[in-house]
């Protein structure tokens, strides 16, 4: 299989930096093992947000760690595999580091991917759909450039220590059982409304820490990528089929 004919792979919600169920380093090595296992068959990789549980890029400093993961991304780029990185609600403070150092395109908003006659709407999913008004207000504040500049005044040692402490404090929420209810799933509602404006074949989101594959009335599908805390899940598009897959644990459940 040539890179031209290779698969397009989507994954999200690694939340590197927190220790939950497994340590961050252990999960990082599992992710690297997965990236190595799919490298020969992949032509494009979409990392759809919350790859890091906390992130802030100073002009001269970035969060310490993640060396194995970042090295593997460099291997992908050196082998001609195009990598896309989306900001999520935990790592929205990405600026130009990944583009300049790794040649990785960073997306701060959902995008449309077209391949083999199919249209895919891809985004992290935070702030989309009805409800969640408190978070939407917080997101506007955090994405405000003035607020980012004010935060940058804090010394990196203090700021990153503070971010990591808050991150680890909230880690338990990822072990709570998530409830899937397609009638109330706001990303499905968002997709249904978007379909009236511009039709897509697939809607691909992260954020919810659920693995689901919902088919709408017109046959279009809304898929959620799960996470790499409980599911170790991803999507693979081979030009004909969109498949939900699990690394190491194929017995995990996909909600339909």
For residue 253, being part of any structural domain is answered with no
Q: What residues in the chain have per-residue pLDDT under 50?
A: 1-2
Quote the CA–CA distance of 30 and 26 in Å, as a whole number. 6
Quote the CA–CA distance of 167 and 246 in Å, as a whole number. 26
Sheet (strand 111-115) strand order = 111-115, 118-123, 202-205, 221-225, 211-215
Output the six-digit token pair for 30: 């599992």
- Number of domains composing the chain: 1
Predicted pLDDT of residue 146: 75
Model pTM? 0.88
Q: Output the domain CATH number for residue 233.
A: 3.60.21.10
Q: Report how far Cα 231 is from the mean position of its chain's Cα atoms.
A: 14
Predicted pLDDT of residue 205: 97
Quote the CA–CA distance of 34 and 10 in Å, as a whole number. 12
Question: In 58-180, which ranges are continuous DSSP H helix?
Answer: 67-78, 97-102, 133-142, 145-152, 156-169
Torsions phi, psi for 236 (to 5 deg): -135, 125
Angstrom CA distances, 156 to 26, 51, 55, 159, stand at 25, 20, 11, 5
Quote the CA–CA distance of 223 and 177 in Å, as a whole number. 19
For residue 14, being part of any structural domain is answered with yes
The DSSP code for 216 is P
Quote the CA–CA distance of 242 and 234 in Å, as a whole number. 10
Predicted pLDDT of residue 36: 97
For residue 204, being part of any structural domain is answered with yes
For residue 256, being part of any structural domain is answered with no
For residue 63, being part of any structural domain is answered with yes
Output the six-digit token pair for 70: 């970042």
For residue 190, being part of any structural domain is answered with yes
DSSP string, 94-122: --SHHHHHH--EEESS-EEEEETTEEEEE
For residue 140, being part of any structural domain is answered with yes
Predicted pLDDT of residue 115: 97
Quote the CA–CA distance of 168 and 48 in Å, as a whole number. 21
Predicted pLDDT of residue 2: 47
End-to-end CA distance of the chain: 31
Task: Give the E-state strand segments of 156-201 in sequence order.
Answer: none
Predicted pLDDT of residue 42: 97
Domain range spanning residue 166?
3-246
Decide if 125 contacts 208 (C-beta within 8 A): yes
For residue 251, being part of any structural domain is answered with no
């Amino acid at each position: 299989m040539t890179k031209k004919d290779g698969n397009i792979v989507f994954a999200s919600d690694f939340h590197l930096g927190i220790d939950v169920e497994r340590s961050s380093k252990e999960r990082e090595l599992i992710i690297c093992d997965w990236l190595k296992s799919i490298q020969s068959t992949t032509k494009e990789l979409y990392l759809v947000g919350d790859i890091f549980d906390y992130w802030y890029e100073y002009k001269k400093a970035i969060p310490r760690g993640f060396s194995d993961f970042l090295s593997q991304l460099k291997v992908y780029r050196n082998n001609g595999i195009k990598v896309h990185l989306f900001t999520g609600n935990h790592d929205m403070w990405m600026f130009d580091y990944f583009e300049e150092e790794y040649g990785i395109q960073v997306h701060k908003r959902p995008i449309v991917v077209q391949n083999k006659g199919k249209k895919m709407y891809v985004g992290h999913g935070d702030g989309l759909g009805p409800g969640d008004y408190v978070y939407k207000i917080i997101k506007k504040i955090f994405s405000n450039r003035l607020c980012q500049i004010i935060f940058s005044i804090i010394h990196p040692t203090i700021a990153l220590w503070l971010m990591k402490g808050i991150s680890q404090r909230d880690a338990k929420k990822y072990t709570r059982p998530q409830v899937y209810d397609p009638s109330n799933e706001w990303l499905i509602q968002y997709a249904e409304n978007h379909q009236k404006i511009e039709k897509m074949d697939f809607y691909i989101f992260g954020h919810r820490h659920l693995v689901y594959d919902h088919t709408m009335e017109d046959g279009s599908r809304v898929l959620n990528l799960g996470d790499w805390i409980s599911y170790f899940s991803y999507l693979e598009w081979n030009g004909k089929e969109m498949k939900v897959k699990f690394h190491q644990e194929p017995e995990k459940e996909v909600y339909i």
